[in-house]
């Protein structure tokens, strides 16, 4: 059956699949389970075999298979298409997040750009292939994963499907993979990783009318923040710049502390994000920051650094060159311009690459529209991305 790309993208945007990002929140808008159910019904209509892979409660990967002319189990080629089901939260949005609106050639709504548009492009290509069954077509696995926005656990657990578990839908490890993200129809061959952790300072509570009887943890954290600001200014020089991804970076994203305004705070916590370049290891980046803070002038008190809760692996370009060249050639033939590029953000591609699968990132839209207050996607790019993916697979 043919797939209406605009209708499908609207359907997906209208189904909330918010990643709580580690927050203790509840409600029907959180987690991916309703999108998974939609995809399961769609795969049934397309006549495709599918398998769900539970990662956490209400969070299942779903993987569908379209068999090629020569089954992958018998030596035929096997291509993996992957897109994540979750979106970031909707706090601060200036449009209705789950009521898709088409205006001026764009579809507005949370997830339209990141990454339900890229998912829709892949689904459209898959539906066409299922209907037309072109000669020489490889077997295609379409994996829709969970928890990309806060941990990459869905993509990491895909590797449990190969070598095949009992009754696994994957006949073997894929030969190549295309990961959906908004890349403006460029082919991403390298990207940064990230290591994230919580940092604490401790003090002693007292009534604010007698602050000299307490020990203010927020004041201590202010000195830690000064150290981290200095570290951030130096980290780009301490690590050699990557030719595609630029410099390593450091950022503090959250801060919390204190019980009430009339109490001297006895604790303060921040979250730190250190972006890693291809070739860097997460714990090396973590230790670099911890040691810098420990040695910084004025830090004469204990600073507690938790073990990282995220170790996002960078994507290097050592093994994906041939795949990237094939996809670039298809896009150039169709639309005239396409390059191999690096990006500063992370994706599921690096987790797929860890399994020894050459992986690139490709999709419609710009990262500049992702996570924004009025998130949108160009419908022209949506159609172009779907055609490019279809042509790439059709040609084997």
Residue 42 CA: distances (Å) to CA of 12, 14, 50, 306, 376: 11, 15, 10, 43, 23
Question: Cα angle vertex 29, ends 23, 31, to 5°?
Answer: 65
Residue 1: predicted pLDDT: 65
Size (the chain), residues: 396
Kindly state the tokens that stand for 253: 């994203």
Q: Crossing angle of helices 33-45/5-13, nearest 10°?
A: 150
Question: Cα angle vertex 265, ends 260, 267, to 5°?
Answer: 120
Question: Cα angle vertex 46, ends 41, 48, to 5°?
Answer: 90
- The answer to whether the bond into 63 is cis (omega within 30° of 0) is no
User: Residue ranges of the domains in the chain?
Assistant: 5-190+314-394, 193-312
Sign of the alpha-carbon torsion through 68, 69, 74, 76: negative
Q: Considering only CA atoms, which of 371, 382, 381 is closest in space to residue 89?
A: 371
The answer, as to whether pTM is greater than 0.85, is yes
Q: Considering only CA atoms, which of 355, 360, 351 is closest in space to residue 163?
A: 355
- DSSP per-residue string spanning 296-360: STT--S-EEEPPPSEEEPPB-SSS-HHHHHHHHHHHHHHHS---EEEESS--THHHHHHTT--EE
Residue 165: predicted pLDDT: 66
Chain position carrying tokens 């403006």:
184
Fold of 193-312: Alpha-Beta Plaits (3.30.70)
CB 384 within 8 A of CB 334: yes
CB 227 within 8 A of CB 380: no
Integer Cα distance of 164 and 376 in angstroms:
38
Residue 166: predicted pLDDT: 64
Domain 5-190+314-394 classification at class level: alpha beta
Per-residue pLDDT tens digits of the chain, which is 396 residues long: 689 999 999 999 999 999 999 888 889 999 999 999 999 999 999 999 999 999 999 999 999 999 999 999 899 999 999 999 999 999 999 999 999 999 999 999 999 999 999 999 999 999 999 999 999 999 999 999 999 998 899 999 998 898 766 679 999 999 999 999 999 999 999 999 999 999 999 999 999 999 999 999 999 999 999 999 999 999 989 999 999 999 999 999 999 999 999 999 999 999 999 999 999 999 999 999 999 999 999 999 999 999 999 999 999 999 999 999 999 999 999 999 999 999 999 999 999 999 999 999 999 999 999 999 999 999 999 999 999 999 999 987
Residue 240 CA: distances (Å) to CA of 276, 306, 386: 11, 27, 37
Integer Cα distance of 112 and 151 in angstroms:
21
Integer Cα distance of 137 and 66 in angstroms:
10
Q: Is there a shared CATH topology between the 5-190+314-394 domain and the 193-312 domain?
A: no
Residue 59 CA: distances (Å) to CA of 11, 226, 256, 389: 19, 39, 29, 27
Integer Cα distance of 271 and 23 in angstroms:
13
């Amino acid at each position: 059956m043919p797939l209406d790309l605009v209708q499908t993208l609207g359907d997906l945007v209208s189904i909330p699949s918010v990643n709580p990002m580690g927050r203790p929140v509840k409600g029907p808008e959180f987690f991916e389970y309703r999108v998974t159910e939609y995809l399961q019904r769609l795969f049934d209509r397309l006549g495709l075999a599918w398998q769900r892979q539970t990662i956490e409660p209400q969070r299942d990967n779903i993987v569908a298979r379209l068999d090629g002319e020569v089954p992958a189990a018998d030596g035929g080629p096997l291509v993996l298409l992957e897109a994540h089901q979750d979106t970031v939260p909707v706090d601060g949005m200036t449009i209705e997040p789950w009521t898709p609106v088409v205006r001026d050639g764009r579809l507005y709504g949370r997830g339209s750009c990141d990454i339900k548009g890229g998912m829709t492009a892949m689904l459209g290509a898959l539906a066409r292939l299922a209907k037309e069954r072109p000669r020489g077509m490889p077997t295609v696995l379409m994996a829709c994963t969970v928890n990309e926005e806060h941990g990459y656990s869905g993509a990491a657990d895909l590797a449990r499907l190969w070598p095949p578990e009992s009754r696994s839908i994957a006949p073997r490890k894929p030969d190549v993979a295309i990961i959906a993200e908004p890349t403006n129809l460029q082919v991403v061959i390298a990207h940064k990783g990230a290591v994230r952790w919580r940092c604490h300072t401790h003090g002693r509570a007292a009534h604010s009318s007698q602050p000299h009887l307490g020990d203010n943890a927020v004041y201590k954290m202010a000195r830690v923040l000064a150290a981290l600001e200095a570290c951030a200014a130096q980290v780009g020089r301490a690590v050699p710049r990557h030719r595609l991804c630029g410099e390593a970076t450091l950022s503090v994203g959250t801060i919390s502390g204190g019980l009430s305004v009339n109490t001297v705070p006895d604790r303060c916590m921040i979250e730190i994000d250190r972006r890693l370049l291809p070739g860097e290891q997460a714990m090396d980046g973590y230790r670099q920051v911890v040691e810098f803070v420990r040695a910084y002038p004025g830090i004469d008190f204990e600073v507690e650094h938790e073990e990282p809760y995220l170790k996002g692996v960078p994507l290097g370009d050592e093994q994906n060159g041939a795949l990237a060249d094939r996809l670039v050639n298809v896009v150039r033939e169709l639309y005239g311009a396409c390059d191999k590029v690096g990006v500063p953000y992370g994706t599921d591609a690096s987790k797929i690459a860890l399994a020894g699968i050459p992986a690139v990132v490709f999709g419609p839209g710009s990262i500049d529209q992702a996570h924004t207050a009025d998130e949108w996607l160009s419908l022209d790019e949506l159609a172009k991305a779907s055609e490019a993916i279809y042509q790439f697979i059709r040609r084997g």
